[in-house]
Amino acid sequence: MIFMRLFCGYLVQVCPFAILGFYPFTNQLRYSKKKAIISTGIFLLLLAFLFSFSGTYLYAVLPHDNSLFLAANIIFLLCLIPCFLWLIYISLASWEKKLFIFSFTLTSALALVSICNMFISWIYRNVETDGLPYKGWSSLIILVVSVVFLPLLMLLLEKCYMPIAEGLSQRENRYLAVLSLVLFLILASGLSFIDITPPLQNSMFLFLFFALLFSIFFIYLIYFKLLLSLHEKLLIQKHNQELHHQLEIRDEQYCRFTETIEGTRRMRHDFKHNLLILHSMNQEGKTQELGEYLNHYIQQLQEYEIVKLCDNAVINWVVSYYLAIAKELHLTFTTRISIPDTHLSIEDADLSVLLGNLLENALTAAKGVKNDGFIHFNMIHSGKMLAITLDNSFNGIVCKEEEHYRSTKKDHRGIGLQSIQSIAEKYNGGVEFSHEGTIFHASVMLKIQ
């Protein structure tokens, strides 16, 4: 009877918060969701068996007073250590994020269990205790309170933390983890000085109890809001920078077109003169000089040639801009663009930001290669899908976090990659990055009308 009471009580208390702890990492698990759920369930059953067996043994050897209650709680806390180790193992997130979520889960569990204990002590105020937790209806009360408050805690993570989790730098994740751990320690130490048994008889203790709980979660909420506001400002700043960069590209393209038109006009003016020189060389039989002059003249024509990669103006000026820069850096840049002549159902701003970020990253990586730097750009329309692939050389050094690529720049947030991802999701598409040796692959799929 004691064994089953502890066994069921442990599961009722731990399982809801195990869901809360794994919720932010549902897409970052080492195994499939089904396998992760089954393995975690078996793991919790083993811990429940260990806790129940230890509690039953202590019940037989220790007096049924506060010493037994303290010993059972110590064993319960020790059983939380394997839970944290399991979270570290099964989740692919960074250790800072896992520490934050685990501390947040512990804080939430401690707060809710404290509320439950207050009601339980009031319900059983006239019943003699046997020194063990989960007496009578205690497990049911814990379950009901958890079911009521767990969705609210999950909503707090979903609305305030998960949208910014990908954009947080490693340093910010570390700060958040330390804050969460400190708040848990403050709550645990504060509750140890507040006597809520018997409850509702000391208004001061009751006020301090709820004030402490409210303060902890209010601090969480404020911190989340600050991070969310900071993240939104960074996105706006990045968007403004991208728009400014696109304007710079257009200005640069305008200057190039102006130079091309001026060079073409000058060559047209000198065309008759060049023909007379070529005719004279031909009459005099100077074939070698004639060939050299023709080669020089052809090179001049190519310098002032206006590049037209496709009929889409946005694609043409963005890609041709980076094509020109690649030539100046002596990089091999090949393009294959096959799109319909009609207007694409993608906003010009989204298209320019998407291509700009992809080509900017590729150009930055390729120019870091000492020899044989290259960029291969492909853009193909098929049915209702637009496929963009980009292969480029790089130095072979990658930075990955949670199976996601990060910039190798110090404290870089990877907002450019987030912009690519968000634009792809906006058009019901997807993004995939991979690397093989010193070749980086990027592919983007967009659904168009």
pLDDT in tens, 349-378: 788 888 888 888 888 888 877 778 899 999
* Domain-ending residue, one of 238, 256, 288: 238
* pTM attached to this predicted model: 0.64
Helices 95-123 and 170-192 meet at what angle, rounded to 10? 20
pLDDT above 90 covers what percent of the chain?
A: 17
The answer on 448 and 317 residing in a single domain is: yes
CB 111 within 8 A of CB 217: yes
pLDDT of 203 strictly over 90: no
Residues 24 and 156 in one domain: yes
| Domain co-membership, 316 together with 234 | no
For residue 314, tell me if it sits in a domain: yes
Is the domain of 234 the same as that of 314?
no
215 and 357 in a single domain? The answer is no
State whether 314 and 200 are in the same domain. no
198 and 340 in a common domain: no
Whether residue 296 is contained in a domain is answered as no
21 and 129 co-located in one domain: yes
Secondary structure letter of residue 332 according to DSSP: E
Asked if residue 96 is part of any domain, the answer here is: yes
The model's pLDDT over 387-399, given as tens digits with 9 standing for 90+, comes to 999 999 988 776 6
Chosen domain end from 206, 238, 270: 238
Q: How many domains does the chain have?
A: 2
Half-sphere exposure of 447 (CA within 13 A, CB side): 6
Q: Is residue 343 part of a domain?
A: yes
Does residue 294 lie in a domain region?
no
User: For residue 401, what pLDDT band results from cuts at 50, 70 and 90?
Assistant: low
Is the same domain home to 331 and 226?
no
What is the C-alpha to C-alpha distance for residues 154 and 156, in angstroms, rounded to an integer? 5
Whether residue 297 is contained in a domain is answered as no
H or E, element range at 435: strand 430-436
Q: How far is CA 256 from CA 247, 266, 305, 312, 320, in A?
A: 14, 15, 10, 18, 11
Q: Are residues 146 and 230 in the same domain?
A: yes
What is the average pLDDT score of the chain?
80
Question: Do 219 and 317 have their domain in common?
Answer: no
| 264 is a domain residue | no
Choice between 55 and 257, residue whose per-residue pLDDT is larger = 55
CA–CA separation, 93 and 177 (whole Å) = 13
Please check whether residues 229 and 324 belong to one and the same domain: no
The verdict on residue 299 lying in a domain is no
Final residue of a domain: which of 215, 238, 261?
Answer: 238
Question: What is the domain-level CATH number for residue 447?
Answer: 3.30.565.10
Domain extent at residue 83: 2-238
